[in-house]
Amino acid sequence: MDLRAETATGLVAKLATGALTAEALMQATLERIAAENPKVNAIVGLRPADALMDEARRADAVAPAARGPLHGLPIAVKDLVMVKGILSTMGSPAFADHVPDRDDLLAARLRAAGAILIGKTNTPEFGLGSHSFNPVYGATVNPYDPARAAGGSSGGAAAALATGMLALADGSDMMGSLRNPAAWCNVYGFRPTWGVVPSEPVGDLFLHPLSTDGPMARSPEDIALLLGVLARPHPLQPAPRVLPPFDLRASVEGRRIGWLGDWGGAYGVEDGILSLCEDALATFTSLGVTVEPVAPPFEAAKIWQSWLTLRHFAVAARLGVLYDTNPDALKPEAIWEVEAGRALSGTDIQAASAIRSDWHRAAAALFDRYDALVLPSAQVWPFPAVWRYPEIVAGRAMDTYHRWMEVVVPVSLLGLPALAMPAGFGAEGVGKGLPMGMQIFGPRGADTGILQLGQTYHGATDWPGRVPPG
């Protein structure tokens, strides 16, 4: 079985009809992992093969009426999610031996849908940074060039999809963690409207609406399959949202897209990325979609300042206890975030929120004219895997460990739905032969419309069909 050529939607259909058994699919998955994972280091914490085969056989014995929408499908869960019985480290030596006795909400929903949880996908330590390396498992590398990074923090998920080890994967996105690795691994990653996929209902539920879980796959149709499992309200969440079914069978002709490029020069972008995205946008034009360049709708420096403050605030809240009890367990970037967050005043946070509110109003006015907006998914091509992060982008020095991902911040700050879509491969220079993508995003609640645009584009391009070398 050529798993790289299969879709998740196709696999679950075959499992449902009996054309494919969970046992056969698990065997093929384990063989694929054995062949591909040593090259990219994407799947970590893999459960023993005999236990997985036993679980697959039990899945085959379940009556059809009792099966969920993902019944029998192998899935590895991002290593920021706690999964019962599976090593869950968050990439940190402090949790290198941690095996939870309960599932987080996301893992529980996957199990309830019938998925077989086989292990984890690699991530940077605590998910900080868009390069998936950590002291527990090492680095995940790019399937299209193993000398280069796969992105992050959902880099393990993206690389596993690109190599056919998984047909579906979960990811999370605070600062492009679904979008950057999708671009660099030639797959799709969807950041839903904040609140569509509920977060773990513990701790503070109101103050930190920056990060969200979401699906990754090799097509928007498969994205919608997983989103349908994850996007259900939770009674302990303060702002649940119920969306209509994710029906992607709609015409996109007549819709309008605004192209923001490099935000009027505010973002340093490596050569070849903007032109590649513009070529990809021409596909929409051929499909009857109007694509127009758009002037920067808001000052980029203000968006960045608001983001920096609110991210410090959020990370300090999440990692503060570990900082107090075991600071040696934190990498320098995490310590910087916590200390900067603790230095903030209430006035600082209010000022950042006021800027966010102003950006929301400006974006809302733009969405009166356009159904969606587009930016590159990343400002740089996949960089050498031995780097921690790029220190210079397009001749500009980066003043933080994540400034090179500034292009994703306008979406994250407002909690907008965004689909990272493959845009093709570089033709020359540092990006030659490497994947790149663009992010298409819309107003809150426009998740289905964004996925419809993505599915139509995918039907005309099928970039993930261009498989990694070998």
Structural domain boundaries in the chain:
3-465
What pLDDT is attached to residue 243? Answer: 72
What pLDDT is attached to residue 406? Answer: 98
Give the pLDDT band of residue 240 (cuts 50, 70, 90).
Answer: low
Q: For 174, list phi and psi in degrees, rounded to 5.
A: -105, -55
Residue 153 bears catalytic tag: yes
| Residues near 437 by beta carbon (within 8 Å), at least 6 away in sequence | 179, 182, 183, 184, 186, 376, 377, 378, 420, 421, 422, 423
What proportion of the chain, given as a percentage, has pLDDT over 90? Answer: 96
The three-state secondary structure class of 17 is helix
| Each residue's pLDDT tens digit, 241-265 | 667 789 999 999 999 999 999 999 9
Catalytic residue among 130, 153, 154, 412: 153
Interval 13-34 mean pLDDT: 98
Interval 271-279 mean pLDDT: 98
Whether the per-residue pLDDT at 115 is higher than 90: the answer is yes
How many whole angstroms separate alpha carbon 184 and alpha carbon 312?
26
What pLDDT is attached to residue 242? Answer: 64
Tokens at 250, concatenated: 């709609």
The whole-model pTM stands at 0.98
> DSSP string covering 368-390, please?
TT-SEEEEES-SSPPPBTT-SS-
Mean pLDDT of the chain: 97
Catalytic residue among 78, 120, 219, 331: 78
Give the pLDDT band of residue 190 (cuts 50, 70, 90).
Answer: very high
Q: Give helix then strand counts, H and E, for the chain.
A: 13, 17
Instruction: Sort strands 256-259 and 372-376 into parallel, antiparallel or unpaired.
Output: parallel
What pLDDT is attached to residue 50? Answer: 98
Q: Which of 470, 381, 396 is CA-nearest to residue 429?
A: 381
Give the pLDDT band of residue 168 (cuts 50, 70, 90).
Answer: very high
Catalytic residue among 177, 211, 377, 412: 177
How many whole angstroms separate alpha carbon 107 and alpha carbon 118?
11
How many whole angstroms separate alpha carbon 58 and alpha carbon 52?
10
What pLDDT is attached to residue 278? Answer: 98
Interval 425-448 mean pLDDT: 97
CB 458 within 8 A of CB 421: yes
Which of 197-211, 302-316, 345-359 shows the lowest mean pLDDT across its residues?
Answer: 197-211
Left, alpha or beta for 191 (phi > 0: left; psi -120 to 50: alpha)? Answer: beta
Residue 78 bears catalytic tag: yes
Which pairs from 231-236 meet CB under 8 Å and 24+ separation?
231/192, 231/196, 231/197, 231/447, 232/109, 232/198, 233/198, 234/105, 234/198, 234/201, 236/201, 236/205
Give the pLDDT band of residue 402 (cuts 50, 70, 90).
Answer: very high
CB 307 within 8 A of CB 284: no
Count CB neighbours of 70 within 10 A.
Answer: 26
Question: 3-465: which CATH topology?
Answer: Amidase signature (AS) enzymes (3.90.1300)
